[in-house]
Amino acid sequence: MKIVADENMPLVREMFSPYGEVVTYPGRELTAEHVWDADVLLVRSVTLVNSSLLEGSRVKFVGSATIGVDHVDQHYLAQRGIRFANAPGCNANSVVQYVLSVLFTLRPDWMEQTIGIVGCGNVGGRLYRMLIELGISCRCYDPFLTREQIPDLVSFNDVLQSDVLCLHTPLSTEGSFPTYHLFDEGVLAQLSSKTLLINAGRGAVVDNAALLRLLPDKSWQVALDVWEQEPDIALPLLEQVDIGTPHIAGYSDDGKVNGTEMIRDAFCAWQGQGVPETASRPDQPVQVTASYLAQAVLATYNVAEEDQRMRQALLAESTGLVESTGLVESTGLVESTGLAESTDVPSVFDRLRKTYPQRLEFQHYRVGGTPSEQLSRQLSVLGFS
Protein backbone atom coordinates (compact mmCIF):
# COMPACT_ATOMS: atom_id res chain seq x y z
CA MET A 1 0.00 0.00 0.00
CA LYS A 2 1.33 3.43 -0.94
CA ILE A 3 0.54 6.32 1.39
CA VAL A 4 1.17 9.88 0.18
CA ALA A 5 1.21 12.49 2.92
CA ASP A 6 1.89 16.14 3.65
CA GLU A 7 5.44 16.28 4.99
CA ASN A 8 4.37 18.64 7.75
CA MET A 9 1.96 16.21 9.41
CA PRO A 10 3.59 15.39 12.76
CA LEU A 11 4.55 11.73 13.29
CA VAL A 12 2.93 10.71 10.00
CA ARG A 13 5.72 8.26 9.17
CA GLU A 14 5.74 6.78 12.66
CA MET A 15 1.97 6.30 12.73
CA PHE A 16 1.41 5.10 9.15
CA SER A 17 4.56 3.16 8.19
CA PRO A 18 3.20 -0.07 9.76
CA TYR A 19 0.53 -0.04 7.04
CA GLY A 20 2.53 0.70 3.91
CA GLU A 21 5.15 2.82 2.19
CA VAL A 22 4.86 6.45 3.29
CA VAL A 23 5.99 9.09 0.79
CA THR A 24 5.83 12.76 1.80
CA TYR A 25 5.72 16.05 -0.13
CA PRO A 26 5.08 19.71 0.72
CA GLY A 27 1.31 19.90 1.05
CA ARG A 28 0.81 22.97 -1.09
CA GLU A 29 2.85 21.38 -3.91
CA LEU A 30 0.98 18.08 -4.14
CA THR A 31 -0.11 17.33 -7.71
CA ALA A 32 -1.94 14.58 -9.58
CA GLU A 33 1.44 13.20 -10.60
CA HIS A 34 2.34 12.66 -6.94
CA VAL A 35 -0.84 10.77 -6.07
CA TRP A 36 -1.78 8.81 -9.21
CA ASP A 37 -0.39 5.52 -7.84
CA ALA A 38 -1.27 6.16 -4.18
CA ASP A 39 -3.84 4.17 -2.23
CA VAL A 40 -4.08 6.66 0.65
CA LEU A 41 -3.76 10.44 0.70
CA LEU A 42 -3.13 12.36 3.93
CA VAL A 43 -3.35 16.15 3.84
CA ARG A 44 -3.77 19.34 5.82
CA SER A 45 -5.76 22.45 4.94
CA VAL A 46 -3.21 23.72 2.40
CA THR A 47 -3.98 20.97 -0.14
CA LEU A 48 -7.06 21.23 -2.35
CA VAL A 49 -8.52 17.74 -2.69
CA ASN A 50 -10.75 17.55 -5.75
CA SER A 51 -11.09 15.95 -9.17
CA SER A 52 -8.06 17.85 -10.49
CA LEU A 53 -5.89 16.14 -7.90
CA LEU A 54 -7.46 12.67 -7.80
CA GLU A 55 -8.99 11.91 -11.19
CA GLY A 56 -7.33 8.80 -12.61
CA SER A 57 -5.65 7.88 -9.33
CA ARG A 58 -6.28 4.73 -7.30
CA VAL A 59 -6.77 6.63 -4.01
CA LYS A 60 -9.42 5.00 -1.84
CA PHE A 61 -8.94 6.85 1.45
CA VAL A 62 -8.37 10.55 2.09
CA GLY A 63 -7.59 11.83 5.55
CA SER A 64 -7.30 15.50 6.49
CA ALA A 65 -5.68 16.21 9.86
CA THR A 66 -7.82 19.33 10.26
CA ILE A 67 -11.07 20.51 11.77
CA GLY A 68 -12.16 22.38 8.63
CA VAL A 69 -13.09 20.61 5.41
CA ASP A 70 -13.61 23.47 2.94
CA HIS A 71 -10.46 22.39 1.07
CA VAL A 72 -11.99 18.98 0.29
CA ASP A 73 -14.61 18.26 -2.39
CA GLN A 74 -16.53 15.71 -0.35
CA HIS A 75 -19.20 15.34 -3.03
CA TYR A 76 -16.56 14.20 -5.52
CA LEU A 77 -15.07 11.76 -2.99
CA ALA A 78 -18.49 10.26 -2.31
CA GLN A 79 -19.16 9.85 -6.04
CA ARG A 80 -15.87 8.02 -6.42
CA GLY A 81 -16.47 5.83 -3.36
CA ILE A 82 -13.43 7.30 -1.62
CA ARG A 83 -13.59 7.18 2.18
CA PHE A 84 -12.95 10.54 3.84
CA ALA A 85 -12.02 11.35 7.43
CA ASN A 86 -11.01 14.55 9.18
CA ALA A 87 -10.13 15.45 12.77
CA PRO A 88 -12.86 17.56 14.37
CA GLY A 89 -11.81 19.02 17.69
CA CYS A 90 -8.18 17.93 17.40
CA ASN A 91 -6.81 21.38 18.17
CA ALA A 92 -9.70 22.95 20.09
CA ASN A 93 -7.66 23.41 23.27
CA SER A 94 -4.87 25.01 21.26
CA VAL A 95 -7.21 27.56 19.70
CA VAL A 96 -8.70 28.36 23.11
CA GLN A 97 -5.18 29.00 24.42
CA TYR A 98 -4.56 31.32 21.45
CA VAL A 99 -7.79 33.27 22.06
CA LEU A 100 -7.06 33.72 25.77
CA SER A 101 -3.56 34.97 24.95
CA VAL A 102 -5.04 37.51 22.52
CA LEU A 103 -7.58 38.63 25.11
CA PHE A 104 -5.02 39.18 27.85
CA THR A 105 -2.69 40.93 25.38
CA LEU A 106 -5.18 43.36 23.85
CA ARG A 107 -7.94 43.66 26.44
CA PRO A 108 -6.65 43.22 30.03
CA ASP A 109 -10.13 43.84 31.49
CA TRP A 110 -11.90 41.39 29.17
CA MET A 111 -13.13 39.22 32.04
CA GLU A 112 -15.53 42.01 33.02
CA GLN A 113 -16.87 42.30 29.47
CA THR A 114 -19.26 40.33 27.27
CA ILE A 115 -17.72 37.77 24.93
CA GLY A 116 -19.58 36.93 21.73
CA ILE A 117 -18.85 33.61 20.05
CA VAL A 118 -19.91 33.07 16.42
CA GLY A 119 -19.90 29.33 15.73
CA CYS A 120 -20.12 26.98 18.72
CA GLY A 121 -18.90 23.69 17.27
CA ASN A 122 -15.85 21.86 18.56
CA VAL A 123 -13.72 24.97 19.05
CA GLY A 124 -16.32 27.64 19.80
CA GLY A 125 -18.16 25.24 22.07
CA ARG A 126 -14.98 24.44 23.99
CA LEU A 127 -14.25 28.15 24.38
CA TYR A 128 -17.82 28.83 25.54
CA ARG A 129 -17.80 26.13 28.21
CA MET A 130 -14.45 27.29 29.56
CA LEU A 131 -15.55 30.93 29.69
CA ILE A 132 -18.77 30.03 31.48
CA GLU A 133 -16.79 28.10 34.09
CA LEU A 134 -14.66 31.19 34.58
CA GLY A 135 -17.81 33.22 35.21
CA ILE A 136 -17.64 35.24 31.98
CA SER A 137 -20.76 36.72 30.39
CA CYS A 138 -21.23 35.14 26.94
CA ARG A 139 -23.46 35.53 23.91
CA CYS A 140 -23.37 32.85 21.22
CA TYR A 141 -24.62 32.67 17.66
CA ASP A 142 -24.93 29.33 15.89
CA PRO A 143 -28.03 28.68 13.76
CA PHE A 144 -27.44 24.92 13.87
CA LEU A 145 -27.67 24.61 17.67
CA THR A 146 -30.45 24.99 20.24
CA ARG A 147 -30.62 26.65 23.64
CA GLU A 148 -30.67 23.20 25.20
CA GLN A 149 -27.16 22.78 23.80
CA ILE A 150 -25.96 26.37 24.27
CA PRO A 151 -28.10 28.26 26.82
CA ASP A 152 -26.65 31.62 25.81
CA LEU A 153 -27.71 31.48 22.15
CA VAL A 154 -28.83 34.83 20.73
CA SER A 155 -29.59 36.25 17.29
CA PHE A 156 -26.82 37.34 14.95
CA ASN A 157 -27.69 41.01 15.51
CA ASP A 158 -27.51 40.51 19.27
CA VAL A 159 -24.14 38.78 19.22
CA LEU A 160 -22.73 41.76 17.31
CA GLN A 161 -23.36 43.91 20.40
CA SER A 162 -20.73 42.00 22.40
CA ASP A 163 -17.55 43.72 23.57
CA VAL A 164 -15.43 40.93 22.05
CA LEU A 165 -16.31 38.82 19.00
CA CYS A 166 -14.59 35.44 18.53
CA LEU A 167 -15.20 33.80 15.14
CA HIS A 168 -15.03 30.01 14.99
CA THR A 169 -17.22 29.06 12.04
CA PRO A 170 -16.42 26.73 9.16
CA LEU A 171 -16.36 28.29 5.70
CA SER A 172 -19.43 27.63 3.56
CA THR A 173 -20.88 29.24 0.45
CA GLU A 174 -24.15 27.32 0.19
CA GLY A 175 -27.09 26.33 2.37
CA SER A 176 -29.37 28.39 4.57
CA PHE A 177 -26.55 29.99 6.56
CA PRO A 178 -23.46 30.51 4.40
CA THR A 179 -20.49 31.95 6.26
CA TYR A 180 -18.51 33.33 3.31
CA HIS A 181 -18.17 37.07 4.00
CA LEU A 182 -20.59 36.74 6.91
CA PHE A 183 -18.77 39.78 8.24
CA ASP A 184 -19.09 41.95 5.15
CA GLU A 185 -18.85 45.72 5.01
CA GLY A 186 -22.42 46.19 6.21
CA VAL A 187 -21.94 43.98 9.26
CA LEU A 188 -18.52 45.39 10.09
CA ALA A 189 -19.92 48.92 9.97
CA GLN A 190 -22.39 47.95 12.71
CA LEU A 191 -19.69 47.07 15.23
CA SER A 192 -19.15 49.33 18.20
CA SER A 193 -16.01 51.45 18.17
CA LYS A 194 -14.84 49.49 21.22
CA THR A 195 -15.22 46.03 19.66
CA LEU A 196 -12.37 43.52 19.67
CA LEU A 197 -12.73 41.17 16.67
CA ILE A 198 -10.79 37.88 16.76
CA ASN A 199 -10.89 35.57 13.74
CA ALA A 200 -9.29 32.17 14.36
CA GLY A 201 -11.73 30.25 12.18
CA ARG A 202 -11.61 30.75 8.41
CA GLY A 203 -10.21 33.80 6.66
CA ALA A 204 -13.02 34.43 4.19
CA VAL A 205 -15.66 34.62 6.94
CA VAL A 206 -14.50 38.24 7.16
CA ASP A 207 -14.40 40.33 3.99
CA ASN A 208 -10.74 41.31 4.24
CA ALA A 209 -10.99 44.06 1.63
CA ALA A 210 -13.91 45.66 3.47
CA LEU A 211 -12.09 45.35 6.78
CA LEU A 212 -9.07 47.12 5.30
CA ARG A 213 -11.23 49.92 3.92
CA LEU A 214 -12.93 50.51 7.27
CA LEU A 215 -10.06 50.09 9.73
CA PRO A 216 -8.34 53.48 9.25
CA ASP A 217 -11.50 55.30 10.36
CA LYS A 218 -12.43 52.92 13.18
CA SER A 219 -11.07 52.38 16.67
CA TRP A 220 -11.74 48.65 16.77
CA GLN A 221 -9.15 46.17 17.87
CA VAL A 222 -8.60 43.29 15.42
CA ALA A 223 -6.68 40.03 15.74
CA LEU A 224 -6.44 37.84 12.63
CA ASP A 225 -4.95 34.37 12.57
CA VAL A 226 -6.66 33.48 9.29
CA TRP A 227 -6.73 35.50 6.08
CA GLU A 228 -8.36 35.55 2.69
CA GLN A 229 -6.27 34.17 -0.16
CA GLU A 230 -3.76 32.45 2.11
CA PRO A 231 -0.83 32.24 1.75
CA ASP A 232 -0.82 35.37 -0.45
CA ILE A 233 -2.20 37.63 2.25
CA ALA A 234 -2.69 41.39 2.03
CA LEU A 235 0.25 43.11 3.71
CA PRO A 236 -1.63 46.43 4.11
CA LEU A 237 -4.13 44.55 6.28
CA LEU A 238 -1.34 43.01 8.38
CA GLU A 239 -0.05 46.54 8.96
CA GLN A 240 -3.48 47.69 10.20
CA VAL A 241 -4.48 44.87 12.57
CA ASP A 242 -3.46 44.81 16.23
CA ILE A 243 -2.32 41.19 16.12
CA GLY A 244 -1.56 39.16 13.00
CA THR A 245 -0.45 35.55 12.99
CA PRO A 246 0.08 33.01 10.16
CA HIS A 247 -2.81 30.57 10.73
CA ILE A 248 -1.22 28.94 13.77
CA ALA A 249 -3.93 29.23 16.45
CA GLY A 250 -4.32 25.45 16.46
CA TYR A 251 -0.60 24.72 16.13
CA SER A 252 0.19 23.40 19.60
CA ASP A 253 2.22 20.19 19.64
CA ASP A 254 -0.77 18.35 21.12
CA GLY A 255 -3.19 19.73 18.54
CA LYS A 256 -1.03 18.73 15.59
CA VAL A 257 -0.31 15.23 16.88
CA ASN A 258 -3.98 14.73 17.78
CA GLY A 259 -4.91 15.45 14.16
CA THR A 260 -2.57 12.78 12.79
CA GLU A 261 -3.69 10.33 15.44
CA MET A 262 -7.39 10.80 14.69
CA ILE A 263 -6.78 10.20 10.98
CA ARG A 264 -4.73 7.10 11.78
CA ASP A 265 -7.60 5.76 13.90
CA ALA A 266 -10.14 6.41 11.13
CA PHE A 267 -7.84 4.69 8.64
CA CYS A 268 -7.58 1.63 10.91
CA ALA A 269 -11.36 1.50 11.26
CA TRP A 270 -11.70 1.66 7.46
CA GLN A 271 -9.23 -1.19 7.14
CA GLY A 272 -11.05 -3.22 9.78
CA GLN A 273 -7.95 -3.20 11.99
CA GLY A 274 -7.72 -2.57 15.69
CA VAL A 275 -6.67 0.90 16.70
CA PRO A 276 -3.18 0.88 18.22
CA GLU A 277 -2.94 1.92 21.83
CA THR A 278 -2.10 5.59 22.04
CA ALA A 279 1.44 6.10 23.18
CA SER A 280 1.64 8.12 26.35
CA ARG A 281 3.43 11.43 26.19
CA PRO A 282 5.10 11.59 29.59
CA ASP A 283 6.72 14.83 30.55
CA GLN A 284 7.38 16.84 33.66
CA PRO A 285 5.10 19.86 33.95
CA VAL A 286 6.83 23.13 33.17
CA GLN A 287 6.75 25.34 36.24
CA VAL A 288 5.85 28.99 35.77
CA THR A 289 5.50 31.87 38.20
CA ALA A 290 2.19 33.69 38.32
CA SER A 291 0.06 35.49 40.88
CA TYR A 292 -2.92 36.12 38.60
CA LEU A 293 -4.46 34.47 35.54
CA ALA A 294 -3.07 36.78 32.86
CA GLN A 295 0.48 36.04 34.01
CA ALA A 296 -0.17 32.30 33.91
CA VAL A 297 -1.72 32.30 30.42
CA LEU A 298 0.93 34.53 28.88
CA ALA A 299 3.69 32.48 30.50
CA THR A 300 2.48 29.46 28.49
CA TYR A 301 1.95 31.36 25.24
CA ASN A 302 2.45 35.03 24.43
CA VAL A 303 0.81 35.70 21.06
CA ALA A 304 2.56 39.08 20.80
CA GLU A 305 5.81 37.24 20.10
CA GLU A 306 4.25 35.47 17.09
CA ASP A 307 2.79 38.75 15.88
CA GLN A 308 6.25 40.33 16.07
CA ARG A 309 7.79 37.38 14.25
CA MET A 310 5.29 37.71 11.40
CA ARG A 311 5.72 41.47 11.08
CA GLN A 312 9.49 41.15 11.07
CA ALA A 313 9.32 38.55 8.32
CA LEU A 314 6.75 40.25 6.07
CA LEU A 315 6.92 43.95 6.86
CA ALA A 316 10.51 44.60 7.93
CA GLU A 317 11.71 45.60 4.47
CA SER A 318 8.91 48.04 3.80
CA THR A 319 8.98 49.64 7.27
CA GLY A 320 12.72 49.77 7.80
CA LEU A 321 12.34 47.61 10.89
CA VAL A 322 15.59 45.76 10.34
CA GLU A 323 17.68 48.91 10.02
CA SER A 324 15.96 50.91 12.74
CA THR A 325 15.73 48.27 15.48
CA GLY A 326 17.76 45.24 14.56
CA LEU A 327 14.87 43.10 15.81
CA VAL A 328 15.20 40.44 13.12
CA GLU A 329 18.83 39.86 13.92
CA SER A 330 18.31 39.98 17.67
CA THR A 331 15.64 37.28 17.54
CA GLY A 332 17.63 35.04 15.22
CA LEU A 333 14.86 35.10 12.61
CA VAL A 334 17.27 35.27 9.69
CA GLU A 335 19.24 32.33 10.95
CA SER A 336 16.28 30.16 11.92
CA THR A 337 13.98 30.75 8.95
CA GLY A 338 15.84 32.71 6.30
CA LEU A 339 12.77 34.92 5.86
CA ALA A 340 13.94 38.45 6.43
CA GLU A 341 15.25 39.09 2.92
CA SER A 342 12.35 37.42 1.11
CA THR A 343 9.62 39.43 -0.64
CA ASP A 344 7.67 36.35 -1.73
CA VAL A 345 4.65 36.65 0.58
CA PRO A 346 3.22 33.14 0.03
CA SER A 347 6.61 31.48 0.64
CA VAL A 348 7.24 33.57 3.74
CA PHE A 349 3.77 32.85 5.13
CA ASP A 350 4.18 29.11 4.62
CA ARG A 351 7.66 29.07 6.07
CA LEU A 352 6.47 30.92 9.16
CA ARG A 353 4.03 28.07 9.69
CA LYS A 354 6.61 25.39 8.98
CA THR A 355 9.15 26.90 11.40
CA TYR A 356 6.57 27.64 14.10
CA PRO A 357 8.17 27.29 17.55
CA GLN A 358 7.10 24.49 19.86
CA ARG A 359 3.97 25.34 21.84
CA LEU A 360 2.61 23.31 24.72
CA GLU A 361 -0.99 23.48 25.92
CA PHE A 362 -2.06 24.43 29.44
CA GLN A 363 -1.95 20.86 30.78
CA HIS A 364 1.83 20.84 30.44
CA TYR A 365 2.25 23.73 32.91
CA ARG A 366 2.07 24.14 36.66
CA VAL A 367 2.09 27.39 38.60
CA GLY A 368 4.71 27.26 41.33
CA GLY A 369 4.30 28.32 44.92
CA THR A 370 0.89 28.51 46.54
CA PRO A 371 -1.58 30.21 44.20
CA SER A 372 -4.58 31.96 45.73
CA GLU A 373 -7.83 30.06 45.96
CA GLN A 374 -9.30 32.07 43.08
CA LEU A 375 -6.28 31.53 40.83
CA SER A 376 -6.18 27.82 41.66
CA ARG A 377 -9.80 27.47 40.58
CA GLN A 378 -9.17 29.39 37.36
CA LEU A 379 -6.10 27.33 36.56
CA SER A 380 -8.09 24.14 37.11
CA VAL A 381 -10.72 25.34 34.62
CA LEU A 382 -8.04 25.91 31.99
CA GLY A 383 -6.50 22.49 32.63
CA PHE A 384 -3.19 23.46 34.22
CA SER A 385 -1.32 20.57 35.83
**Catalytic site positions:** 202, 230, 247
Give residue 302's Cα distance to chain centre: 15
Q: Kindly report each contact of residues 13-16 with a partner whose C-beta sits within 8 Å and lies 24 or more positions away, as own/partner.
A: 15/260, 15/261, 15/264, 16/40, 16/42, 16/264, 16/267
d(CA 313, CA 281): 33
d(CA 247, CA 353): 7
d(CA 218, CA 178): 26
Residues 6+ apart with CB under 8 A from 253: 10, 358, 359, 360, 361
Within 10 angstroms of residue 81's Cβ, the number of other Cβ atoms is 7
Alpha-helical regions (H) of 42-121: 51-54, 74-80, 92-106
- Pairing type for strands 137-141 and 83-85 reads unpaired
Name the burial class of residue 186, with classes exposed (0-12), middle (13-18) and buried (19+) by CB atoms within 10 angstroms of its CB. Answer: exposed
Type of residue found at 379: L
Q: Which element (helix H / strand E) includes 337?
A: helix 333-337
